Amino acid sequence: MSARMDHQPLEVSPSSDFVQIPADAVDVWEVDLRLLKFEQKLASGSFGDLYHGTYCSQDVAIKVLKPERVSVDMLREFAQEVYIMKKVRHKNVVQFIGACTRPPVLCIITEFMHGGSIFDFLYNRRGNFQLPDVIRIASDVSKGMNYLHQINIVHRDLKTANLLMDDQVIEHLPYDHRADVFSFGIVLWELLTGKLPYEDMTPLQAAVAVVQKDLRPTIAVDTHPMLAELLQRCWQKDPALRPTFAEIVDILNSIKEAVRSSVHHKRHSCRSHSGRRRGC
């Protein structure tokens, strides 16, 4: 798609080291509230509400801060979130659309995901994923996380539900990229099992068990061996021993090929032994 602006011609020098893009008086991500329509409240928290709406005819999710709960710390966190999100562009990361930074309305607008969250699918709709789906979703997550880590962004909240934190967070140690890897392992385990980790414990009991006793979710005996190994590596107590997301992307690609090859071999075996089709 090409674009044209009805302004004066731009001055471009062929000898310049880079092309100078003109700055606008208004940031392109600052939303026009007149074009933002609120349709349905999806969730409400202590400090903000989440809505489904539209912006310029596009379905969006709108996170609005509650004016009566705004503090200096919250404003600082809001500014940091906008600053980070406006730099992120990746197909496996929810797309930032814009924000309103002019009180009294402070909000962040992102693309709306019609399928809902994985947590909602697993625990509220009682859905489950087949192994190829698990690998595909895990691959997408790892690609998005690898991108964030490449531009030095730590997610800090990578989990299907806010239940577990890596021991680096629990003990208030510096939270780095490897803590996201631990959380990814929890997400992968939930995808495989459709269960909440440590569901027979309170969050505090689980946190203490993870830190003091190195407790990890139980890996089922029928888990694909390559996935079981990946889970164990993600949950290493020493963060330096955990894989990077770049490595995880490659590992999941290898697992996908192994699963595909296994399915192909099984189908070929069934065709070759039609007399024993019952066992296929």
pLDDT in tens, 237-275: 999 999 999 999 999 999 999 998 876 666 666 665 555
Give the pLDDT confidence score for residue 149 in this predicted structure.
94
Give the total number of structural domains in the chain. Answer: 2
Is residue 7, in this structure, part of any structural domain at all?
no
Kindly state whether residues 259 and 123 are assigned to the same domain.
yes
User: Catalytic residue numbers?
Assistant: 157
Nearest one of 119, 134, 127, 123 to 223, comparing CA atoms: 134
Kindly state whether residues 64 and 133 are assigned to the same domain.
no
Domain extent for 169: 118-274
Contact 46, 71 (CB under 8 A): no
Is residue 17, in this structure, part of any structural domain at all?
no
Give the pLDDT confidence score for residue 164 in this predicted structure.
29
Query: Is residue 75 helix, strand or coil?
Result: helix
Is residue 101, in this structure, part of any structural domain at all?
yes
pLDDT tens profile 103-134:
888 999 999 888 778 888 888 878 888 898 88
H/E element holding 182? helix 177-193
Kindly state whether residues 143 and 100 are assigned to the same domain.
no
State the Cα–Cα distance between residues 50 and 64, nearest whole angstrom: 6
pLDDT tops 70 at residue 162: no
Give the pLDDT confidence score for residue 169 in this predicted structure.
47
Q: pLDDT: is 176 or 104 the higher one? A: 104
CATH code of the domain covering residue 135: 1.10.510.10
Give the pLDDT confidence score for residue 168 in this predicted structure.
54
Give the pLDDT confidence score for residue 268 in this predicted structure.
62
pLDDT tops 80 at residue 10: no
Residue where one domain finishes, among candidates 82, 111, 140: 111
Residue 279 is encoded by which pair of tokens?
């066992």
pLDDT tens profile 29-79:
899 999 999 999 988 888 889 999 999 989 999 999 998 888 888 899 999
Top mean-pLDDT range of 78-87, 111-120, 158-167, 228-237: 228-237
Q: What is the mean pLDDT of the chain?
A: 82
- State mean pLDDT over 2-7: 46
pLDDT tops 70 at residue 165: no
Give the pLDDT confidence score for residue 137 in this predicted structure.
86
Strand spans (E) along the chain: 36-44, 48-55, 58-65, 96-100, 107-111
